[in-house]
Amino acid sequence: MAILFALVSAACYGTSDFSAGLLSRRYAAEPASALIIGMEILGSALAVVLYPGHGPSVHAIAWGAVSGLGGGAGTLFLYRGLAAGAMTIVGTVSGVLAAAVPVLVGLALGNHLTTGEAIGIVIAVPAIALVSWQPGAEDGAGSRSAVVYGALAGCGFGLLFVGLDRAGTRAGAWPLLPGQAVGFLVVAPLALRKLVHAGRPELGDLPYVLSSGVLASAAALFFLVATGHGELSIVAVIAALYPAFTVLLARAFLSERWSLTQVAGLLVAAASVVLVSVS
């Protein structure tokens, strides 16, 4: 069940990113992100009603807040990196570390892996890099700072995964609420600064905000549930395959071409899921 929930989480994260990407073509990315996180707060409130568990605890709320700090900081550094002009480097480095950090933490906490699971995790990390890599993107400008921002973003997203895992499932969906609230507070200052130039969103932007926010909150919920059924090292690396779903949607709805590198990444990602699932 852990693999299934983690895959659903990855699908939700990837679809949310796809919707957010469409929104960013119409509206400034920073205030759009704040709007999406605001919608995630509402989605998390609904999740609490549907999955209250045994109620909130100090432990769950604290780790939920830590997850929000990681998610908010990851988003902030990601935008800073994108502004440096090397989108491919930022996306690749952040995606790899978002998977690697929870894996290392999980192993340090005593996660036990079979040989098949270990091999699946090892090949999943380069699969994320291959899927995220976009040949032809502008990588020359600010590449060194892009690596730094990508690394910081990846560590932030890794902290998001670790925080949700440590919060546990006993408190149900309660850890999601402080997480989204903290994430909003982290992103809000940058969003407000950009809002002066972006203006208010149009009515046509709202479907993208709604879909991205609801899917992101669902992704966090499925990830949280998945950690209750399996090891953090396995759940995190499967959930971190979310770029594959974004690439698939871009191909289906935007007719974007796949590079040979991305095709190889998709095949390796599929192999990693099979290895982890059958072990």
Q: Which of 220, 216, 79, 102 is nearest to 150 (CA)?
A: 79
Report pTM: 0.90
pLDDT band at 83 (very low <50, low <70, confident <90, very high): low
Digit-coded pLDDT (tens) for 215-234: 999 999 999 999 999 999 99
Tell me what percent of the chain is helix, strand and coil, each rounded to the nearest 5: 80, 0, 20
Domain count across the chain? 1
Asked if residues 187 and 41 have their Cβ atoms less than 8 Å apart, the reply is: no
What's the average model confidence in pLDDT over 75-90? Answer: 73
Q: Which of 133, 100, 102, 169 is nearest to 243 (CA)?
A: 133
pLDDT band at 279 (very low <50, low <70, confident <90, very high): low
Rounded Cα–Cα distance for residues 256 and 238 (Å): 24
Query: What is the pLDDT, as a whole number, of residue 275?
Result: 92
Which helix (H) or strand (E) segment holds residue 99: the answer is helix 87-108
- Percent of the chain whose pLDDT exceeds 70: 93
Digit-coded pLDDT (tens) for 92-149: 888 899 999 999 999 999 998 999 999 999 999 999 989 888 765 554 555 677 788 8
Please give the mean pLDDT across all residues of the chain.
88
| Residue 95 CB neighbours (<10 A) | 26
Q: Where are the beta strands (DSSP E) in 58-178?
A: none
What's the average model confidence in pLDDT over 258-268? Answer: 91
Rounded Cα–Cα distance for residues 19 and 25 (Å): 10
Digit-coded pLDDT (tens) for 29-63: 778 888 889 999 999 999 999 999 999 999 999 99
Total residues belonging to the chain: 279
Q: Which domain holds residue 106?
A: 2-278
Query: What is the pLDDT, as a whole number, of residue 76?
Result: 84
Q: Is the pLDDT assigned to residue 88 strictly greater than 80?
A: no
Q: Coil, helix or strand for 165?
A: helix
